[in-house]
């Protein structure tokens, strides 16, 4: 129980902290433009979307099993051919786990808790944990590259981490 290196404390997500890994899909301090004859703010182009050739943009829904804290992180994955955005369909925070790459495998992970009504976009080829809602139903709109070629790499930790 004293193996502190295996324990990772959740942090509240912010655009700043999440920047090395992706984009926070939240209102900016001010809109980029006003549209619809004054009735709507447009907070424009919030995410770095990249889809390699051989695929096309698409919208899917994911319905994931809610998890509980503390959460055991055994595996991380990345998608070398495209970014992947997650927008919660229910007003609940969710767990976002990311890591920079260190010689082809994830470095020590970072664990973030989102705020309700905020989505995220993982940049292309960023190591991340699988979709981990903390509440039911764990339904998300996902905007990613639609293709049939292989676009998934998994890394299983010899020693799992505990997120708390």
Binding site for a copy of itself (CB under 8 A): 23, 25-27, 31, 35-37, 39-47, 49, 51, 56-65, 75, 85, 87, 89-91, 117-119, 121, 130-131, 138-139, 141, 143, 146
Spatial contact of 49 and 108, defined as CB atoms under 8 Å apart? no
Q: Which is nearer to a copy of itself, 87 or 113 (CB)?
A: 87
Cα dist from 90 to 62, 109, 115, 134, 136, whole Å:
12, 26, 11, 11, 9
Q: Which is nearer to a copy of itself, 5 or 152 (CB)?
A: 152
Q: Which is nearer to a copy of itself, 17 or 139 (CB)?
A: 139
Q: Which is nearer to a copy of itself, 67 or 112 (CB)?
A: 67
Tell me how far, at minimum, the Cβ of 104 lies from a copy of itself, in Å.
Answer: 21
- How far is C-alpha 132 from the geometric centre of its chain's CA atoms? 9
Tell me how far, at minimum, the Cβ of 65 lies from a copy of itself, in Å.
Answer: 5
Integer Cα distance of 121 and 91 in angstroms: 17
Integer Cα distance of 133 and 140 in angstroms: 9
Tell me how far, at minimum, the Cβ of 102 lies from a copy of itself, in Å.
Answer: 23
Integer Cα distance of 70 and 163 in angstroms: 5
Q: Which is nearer to a copy of itself, 87 or 134 (CB)?
A: 87
Tell me how far, at minimum, the Cβ of 43 lies from a copy of itself, in Å.
Answer: 4
Integer Cα distance of 53 and 48 in angstroms: 16
């Amino acid at each position: 129980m004293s193996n502190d290196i295996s324990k990772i404390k959740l942090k509240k997500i912010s655009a700043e902290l999440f920047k090395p890994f992706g984009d926070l899909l939240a209102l900016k301090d001010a809109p980029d433009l006003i549209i619809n004859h004054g009735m709507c703010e447009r907070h424009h182009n919030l995410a770095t979307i990249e889809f390699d050739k051989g695929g096309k943009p698409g919208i899917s829904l994911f319905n994931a099993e809610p998890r509980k804290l503390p959460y055991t992180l055994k595996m991380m994955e990345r998608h070398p051919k495209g970014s992947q955005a997650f927008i919660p369909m229910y007003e609940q925070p969710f767990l976002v786990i990311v890591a920079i790459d260190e010689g082809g495998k994830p470095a020590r992970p970072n664990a973030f808790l989102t705020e309700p009504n905020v989505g995220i976009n993982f940049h292309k080829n960023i190591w991340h944990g699988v979709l981990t809602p903390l509440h039911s139903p764990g339904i998300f709109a996902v905007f990613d590259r639609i293709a049939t070629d292989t676009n998934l790499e998994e890394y299983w930790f010899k020693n799992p981490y505990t997120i708390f």
